[in-house]
């Protein structure tokens, strides 16, 4: 299924050798002597058991993932659910195991290059700049030690809260056993959630680790990126093309070349001489700007950021106390130690540079952290956390100095936390938009994510579906992949098909690599442009529904893109589908993800499903052969739903006043709409409307479940069957 290069094969061989060596490792005796506290509480009505462990002389490290502590109660028996056993096998190695029955499925576990079921493989959790993305790829950019195990319609969640390197073997030996190796010399916490429904487990997990707040409305529009638009003229031209061609777009994203020799918090005077007013100019055309910010700080004695990092001791250190240096885009760099709260505040304050210039959002990249020289941070054969003095550098945690590998998996998340907090301080009451490549459990509190350097391959379009679903099940709803693929030349057909799926990615951005074929919607001629324009317009029409789904996420932790089994846990076939997904409860999407295909089979759960593009409904509870001509959307709406659909707009600047059509599917239907200002934090104080619509006996009624926002006037329409009639919003109760 996946294109493989000779280099990949050599690499795979090396990896297999490593695996063989690893398999010979036996757990040995339990040497644990320290403190282990078992306690419990209910979250989202599910039992949650917590085990907090600290080796002798150590404390349990502060968690950067879990929200404020609540009351936990002692667990009478020292037994973990799911028959989980654990022991310390070496001073730097912990072993866990639990049985997996033949029917158990494994999901979530963050960013895995895998189908929805991640069972049957070994998964290393060590944040990595993995550029290959073949099916042999192991660690990727994010490391999220949260797994959901489901049997029948019952699920458990297992969250091993440690930012140290971990290896999860999910029955790779086919002996019905899952084994986790945690390579750490420090303490950790393990949470076991459930049993319960899949949706309840995610609800509880996201209560524990936090949820994404309401995103700024503009960030849900189409974002256009390129490594790189080389100068301000090109940026203005790209923006102009969108408006001239009437292709909706909200954001132009600036990659590394806007900077002065890749120094973060600077702009190139040659290529962007008017960087100070660029955002203002684009704002006049209803565009926002997002700029990339990498963690590497150029080693340059004249560069204020570098001078401060050194003078104030804010960078990561080698074991002998020197500033650790490595090469990245700017050349030799130092790396902020985001474990330190002083570093986070300092980094946050520097964002004044962007805020003052009207930059709307920040894109944190290379924050695994990635290095050009030191490609492999792990020892070749990993059986134990190396001694701190044998690690490339150390970091200052709240508990003291540790080797980097103990906290590596936090690095990206703590960077985007610093960014998020900085933006909130500098622009209080404005929703921060941060995008990150690396992340750990709880990253959803600070950032949206994209899944890194994919290829312009059909297999990567296909994989984006289970991968984004697993991100959502791991608590991170605001996710997407580069539409069209980052590496390689995208074909016209692939780009159109990619947009057919991409308009449903919560984070929706077209991005591609330097030197590859340009991928803007108009880059392939008129016919393709027309198809893509219509698809992007569909995204904008769906915005009221998508925005309301973010609200739902805030209430229940539900991801936007979710597996069919989320709503149909009793339906065995629903569990099998991972090249289709639900967008919220009401839209089922079964896109074409193969070349030269215009038909595919798709499974529809019980009920009736109406094609979003119009036409006769399909009877659910069975597989259908559906026709999907190039440029059409393979989306179906659940009978009983009312979708709020906006009129097409060129950017979300016009969202608040765009007419909304309440589109009714079936003879009896219900729908919800959230309205607020789309940019401030005031919804948190009740400044929002929650509207409920009900269609019955040929009439639509509306009701405010919450009315706290004076919405600017907009027209509402009712669409039932093929008739669109004006609808007057009022409280019918």
Supply the residues annotated as catalytic.
365, 368, 453
Cβ nearer to ligand GLC, comparing 291 with 459: 291
Which of 279, 231, 283, 233 lies closest to 255 in space, CA to CA? Answer: 231
CA distance 423 to 291: 13
Cβ nearer to ligand GLC, comparing 118 with 328: 328
According to the binding rule CB under 6 A, does residue 258 interact with ligand GLC? no
Q: How far is the CB of 367 from ligand GLC (least distance, A)?
A: 10
Q: How far is the CB of 512 from ligand GLC (least distance, A)?
A: 8
Length of the chain counted residue by residue: 733
Q: In 104-208, where do the E strands start and end?
A: 105-108, 122-125, 146-151, 154-161, 166-170, 177-182, 188-196
Show the site string, 285-304: x = touches ligand GLC by CB under 6 A, - = not: -------x------------
Q: Which residue of 44, 236, 256, 633 would you call a contact of ligand GLC, by CB under 6 A?
A: 256
Name the CA radius of gyration of the chain, rounded: 25
Q: How far is the CB of 150 from ligand GLC (least distance, A)?
A: 32
Q: In 547-698, where do the E strands start and end?
A: 561-562, 581-583, 587-589, 599-604, 608-611, 618-619, 622-627, 635-638, 642-646, 660-664, 669-675, 689-696
CA distance 573 to 620: 12
Q: Which of residues 171-230 bind ligand GLC (CB under 6 A)?
A: 227
According to the binding rule CB under 6 A, does residue 452 interact with ligand GLC? yes
Q: How far is the CB of 596 from ligand GLC (least distance, A)?
A: 29
CA distance 623 to 604: 6
According to the binding rule CB under 6 A, does residue 111 interact with ligand GLC? no
Cβ contact 436:412 at 8 Å: yes
Cβ nearer to ligand GLC, comparing 197 with 509: 509
Cβ nearer to ligand GLC, comparing 272 with 566: 272
Cβ nearer to ligand GLC, comparing 50 with 437: 437
Cβ nearer to ligand GLC, comparing 250 with 365: 365
Q: What is the largest CA-CA distance in the chain?
A: 77
According to the binding rule CB under 6 A, does residue 676 interact with ligand GLC? no
Show the site string, 709-728: x = touches ligand GLC by CB under 6 A, - = not: --------------------
Q: How far is the CB of 211 from ligand GLC (least distance, A)?
A: 26
According to the binding rule CB under 6 A, does residue 255 interact with ligand GLC? yes
Q: Give backbone dihedrals phi and psi of 404, rounded to 5 degrees, phi first.
A: -55, -40
Q: Which residue of 111, 453, 516, 675 would you call a contact of ligand GLC, by CB under 6 A?
A: 453
CA distances 283 to 253, 540, 543, 622, Å, are: 14, 19, 21, 49
Cβ contact 155:435 at 8 Å: no
- HSE-CB for 497 with a 13 A CA cutoff: 26
Q: Say how many residues touch ligand GLC, by CB under 6 A.
A: 10
Q: How far is the CB of 335 from ligand GLC (least distance, A)?
A: 16
Give the 3-state DSSP-derived string for 623-645, with helices as H, strands as E and coil as C.
Answer: EEEEECCCCCCCEEEECCEEEEE
CA distance 441 to 420: 16
Q: For residue 604, give both structure tokens.
A: 């529809």
Cβ nearer to ligand GLC, comparing 98 with 227: 227
CB-based closest residue to ligand GLC: 227
Q: Which of residues 470-489 bind ligand GLC (CB under 6 A)?
A: 486
Q: Counting Cβ atoms within 10 Å, is residue 534 exposed (0-12), middle (13-18) or buried (19+)? A: middle
Q: Which residues bind ligand GLC (CB under 6 A)?
A: 227, 255-256, 292, 365, 437, 452-453, 486, 511
């Amino acid at each position: 299924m996946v294109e493989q290069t000779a280099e990949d094969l050599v690499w795979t061989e090396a990896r297999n050798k490593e695996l063989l060596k690893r398999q010979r490792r036996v757990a040995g005796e339990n040497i644990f002597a320290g403190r282990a506290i078992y306690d419990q509480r209910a979250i989202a009505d599910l039992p949650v058991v917590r085990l907090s462990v600290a080796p002798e002389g150590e404390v349990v490290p502060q968690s950067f993932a879990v929200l404020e502590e609540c009351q936990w109660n002692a667990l009478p028996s020292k037994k973990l659910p799911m028959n989980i056993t654990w022991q310390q096998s070496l001073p730097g190695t912990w072993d866990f195991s639990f049985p997996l029955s033949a029917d158990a499925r494994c999901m979530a576990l963050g960013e895995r290059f895998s189908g929805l079921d991640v069972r049957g493989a070994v998964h290393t959790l060590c944040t990595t700049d993995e550029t290959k993305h073949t099916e042999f790829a192991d660690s990727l950019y994010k490391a999220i030690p949260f797994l959901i195990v489901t049997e029948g319609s019952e699920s458990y969640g297992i969250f091993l809260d440690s930012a140290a390197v971990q290896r999860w073997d999910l029955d790779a030996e086919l002996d019905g056993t899952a084994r986790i190796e945690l390579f750490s010399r420090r303490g950790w916490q393990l949470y076991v959630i459930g049993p319960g429904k899949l949706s309840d487990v995610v609800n509880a997990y996201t209560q524990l680790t936090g949820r994404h707040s309401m995103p700024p409305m503009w960030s849900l529009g189409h974002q256009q990126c390129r490594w790189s638009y080389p100068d301000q003229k090109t940026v203005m031209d790209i923006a102009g093309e969108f408006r001239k061609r009437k292709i909706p777009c909200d954001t132009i994203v600036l990659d590394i070349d806007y900077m002065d020799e890749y120094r973060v918090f600077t702009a190139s005077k040659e290529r962007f001489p008017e960087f100070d007013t660029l955002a203002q100019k684009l704002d006049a055309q209803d565009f926002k700007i997002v700029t990339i910010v990498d963690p590497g700080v150029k080693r340059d004695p004249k560069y204020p950021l570098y001078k401060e990092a050194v003078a104030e001791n804010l960078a990561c250190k080698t074991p002998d106390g020197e500033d650790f240096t490595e090469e990245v885009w700017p050349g030799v760099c130092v790396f902020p130690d985001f474990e330190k709260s002083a570093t986070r505040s300092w980094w946050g304050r520097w964002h004044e540079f962007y805020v003052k210039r009207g930059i709307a959002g920040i894109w944190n990249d290379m924050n695994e952290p990635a290095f050009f020289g030191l490609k492999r941070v792990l020892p070749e054969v990993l059986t134990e956390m190396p001694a701190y003095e044998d690690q490339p550098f150390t970091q200052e945690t709240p508990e003291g100095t540790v080797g980097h590998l103990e906290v590596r998996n936090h690095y990206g998340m703590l960077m985007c936390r610093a960014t998020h907090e900085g933006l909130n301080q500098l622009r209080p009451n404005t929703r921060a938009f941060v995008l990150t490549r690396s992340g750990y459990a709880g990253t959803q509190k600070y950032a949206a994510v994209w899944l890194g350097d994919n290829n312009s391959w059909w297999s990567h379009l296909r994989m984006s579906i289970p991968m984004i679903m697993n991100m959502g099940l791991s608590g991170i709803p605001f996710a997407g992949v580069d539409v069209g693929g980052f590496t390689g030349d995208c074909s016209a057909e692939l780009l159109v098909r990619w947009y057919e799926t991409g308009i449903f990615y919560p984070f929706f951005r077209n991005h591609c690599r330097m030197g590859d074929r340009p991928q803007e919607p108009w880059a392939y001629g008129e016919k393709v442009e027309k198809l893509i324009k219509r698809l992007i317009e569909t995204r904008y029409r769906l915005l009221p529904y998508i925005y309301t789904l973010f609200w739902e996420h805030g209430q229940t932790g539900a991801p936007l893109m979710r597996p069919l089994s989320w709503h149909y846990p009793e339906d065995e076939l629903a569990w099998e589908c991972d090249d289709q997904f639900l967008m919220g409860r009401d839209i089922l999407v079964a896109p074409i993800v193969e070349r030269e295909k215009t038909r595919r089979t798709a499974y529809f759960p019980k009920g009736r499903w109406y094609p979003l593009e119009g036409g006769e409904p399909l009877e659910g509870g069975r597989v259908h052969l559906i026709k999907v001509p190039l440029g059409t959307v393979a989306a179906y709406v659940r009978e009983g739903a009312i979708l709020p659909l906006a009129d097409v707009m060129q950017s979300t600047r016009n969202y608040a006043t765009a007419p909304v059509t309440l589109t009714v599917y079936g003879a009896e239907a219900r729908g919800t709409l959230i309205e607020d200002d789309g940019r401030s934090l005031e919804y948190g104080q009740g400044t929002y409307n929650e509207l409920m619509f009900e269609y019955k006996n040929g009439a639509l009624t509306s009701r405010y479940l919450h009315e706290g926002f004076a919405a600017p006037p907009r027209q509402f329409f009712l669409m039932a069957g093929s008739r669109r009639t004006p609808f007057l919003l009022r409280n019918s109760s």
